[in-house]
Amino acid sequence: MAFSGYAPEPASSFSALSGRGKPFGFGFYEQFGMTKRNINPFRVQVGQKDVPLIILDDVKSAADYRFAARFHIGFKYNNRFGNVVTSLEGVDPRGDPFSVALKQKNEKTGKVEPKMPQRCWLLTGIELTSYTIKNGKNAGKVIENPRVLIPVPLGDRPNSPMSREDYFMAFATKLSGGLRGREFDVSRGPGQRSPRIGDQWFPKDKLTDAQLMERIAGAAQALGVSPADYIKPCNYTEVCKPVTYDRALQQAAAIAAEYGFDLLAELRGDKPADVKSQGAQSIPDRGDAYEGDDAETLDSADDQTIPF
C-alpha cells in the first residue's frame, strides 16, 4: 500500500573509487558547503535498548511530503557490512544489477534468486549518541550526535490488518505538533530478523528549533556547519541521486567478484544460477532484512509506542 504523498522513486548510490579502481564502500553523502559528509542509515543493534533519536522531518499528517525509494542496506563488501545502495528496481528498464550481485538462496524453494530491495520511507534524524571512527585518516575521532537516515520499512506487517506506513502515520498524527523535534527512545528485540530501526519507539519530549540548535551546537561546530543547517532534513533527491545503469553495473560487478562469481557472465546466461557455482552469499545475519516470515511481531504492544 503506497502513500499518495510520495515523490517519484529515484534509485542511486554514491560510491567513491580507490586508486586501484575498487569501490571501497557504498554509502550516502550530504553536501555542506564545499564538504561532502557521510550520513549513515540509523540502526539499533539486536537487543539494544533506549537509543535516543530526534526526528527532523515535519510530518504531521498523511498529506505531508514524504520520500520513498528502494534500497539494499547493510550488505557485506570489502570486509564491512555497513554498505548501502539504492536499487534501480522500477527505475531503469534493464533492471537492478545489485539485486543479481546480492542474490541469495530462497530457503523455501531452495533456488538462488535475486535479492529484492527493501522499499523504505526516508526520514532524517539525529542520534543523540557518540561513536569513534575505527578506520581511515580520521581513525580515533569521536563523532557526537550524528545525523542519520531512518529507512522506515514499508509494506504489510505480519499478522496485522494495517500496513507499516499506515500504522506509523496513525501514531504520528496523534503526536502533538507532529514528528519534527520529537525525541524517541528506540529499542530492538532479541530476534536477528527484527527491524534494523528498532521495533519499539517510545516518544519523549518535543524540542523547538531553538532547543534543537542548542542541543547539537557542538556537533554542528565540529563539522563546520551552522546549527540551522544541521537540523534540516536531508535533501533526499540529492543524497539519493540516481547513478546510470552502466555505473551501477560496474559497482555491482565489483560486489559479485568479491562473492566469487562473474556478474556479466551471469547476466549473459553463461552459467547456471546455483549457490555452489555462483558463490551466492551464505551469511547468517546479512543485516539488510527488516522482517521475515519468522520475525517477531508486536501487535499487542502498548499503544504509547510505535511497533514495527
Question: Are residues 191 and 295 in contact, defined by beta-carbon separation less than 8 angstroms?
Answer: yes
Count of C-beta atoms within a 10 Å radius of residue 259: 19
Closest by CA to 177, choosing from 21, 61, 294, is: 61
What is the per-residue DSSP string for 126-139?
Answer: EES-EEE--SSTTT
Output the average pLDDT for the chain.
Answer: 78
DSSP 19: T
Q: How many CA atoms lie within 13 A of 67 on its CB side?
A: 20
Q: What predicted TM-score, i.e. pTM, was given to this entire model?
A: 0.78
Residue 35 has pLDDT above 90, yes or no: no
pLDDT at 271: 52
In a domain, 256, yes or no: yes
Q: Return the residue matching grid coordinates 539488510.
A: 288
- CA–CA dist 239, 235 (Å, integer): 6
Residue matched to cell numbers 540502526: 43
Confidence of residue 6 (pLDDT cuts 50, 70, 90): very low
Whether 261 is in a domain gets the answer yes
Give dist(CA 45, CA 37) in Å, integer.
Answer: 23
What residues make up the domain containing 229? 28-278
Number of domains in the chain: 1
In this structure, is residue 227 part of a structural domain? yes
Residue 300 inside a domain? The answer is: no
Q: What is the pLDDT of residues 44-97, one digit of tens each?
A: 999 999 999 999 998 877 777 788 889 999 888 888 888 899 999 988 999 999
What tens digit of pLDDT does each residue of 162-220 get?
Answer: 777 777 777 777 787 888 999 999 999 887 778 889 888 999 999 999 999 999 999 99
Within 10 angstroms of residue 198's Cβ, the number of other Cβ atoms is 27
For residue 292, being part of any structural domain is answered with no
pLDDT tier for residue 117 given thresholds of 50, 70 and 90: very high
Rounded CA gap, 152 and 207, in Å? 22
Closest CA to 198 of 258, 125, 267, 135: 125
Cα gap 198→295, rounded to integer Å: 12
Beta bridge partners of 143: 131
Give the contacts of 273 (CB within 8 A, at least 6 positions apart).
Answer: 103, 111, 112, 266
* Residue 87 lies inside a defined structural domain of this protein: yes
Residue 11 belongs to some domain of the structure: no
Q: Is residue 303 part of a domain?
A: no
Neighbours of 155 (CB within 10 A): 14
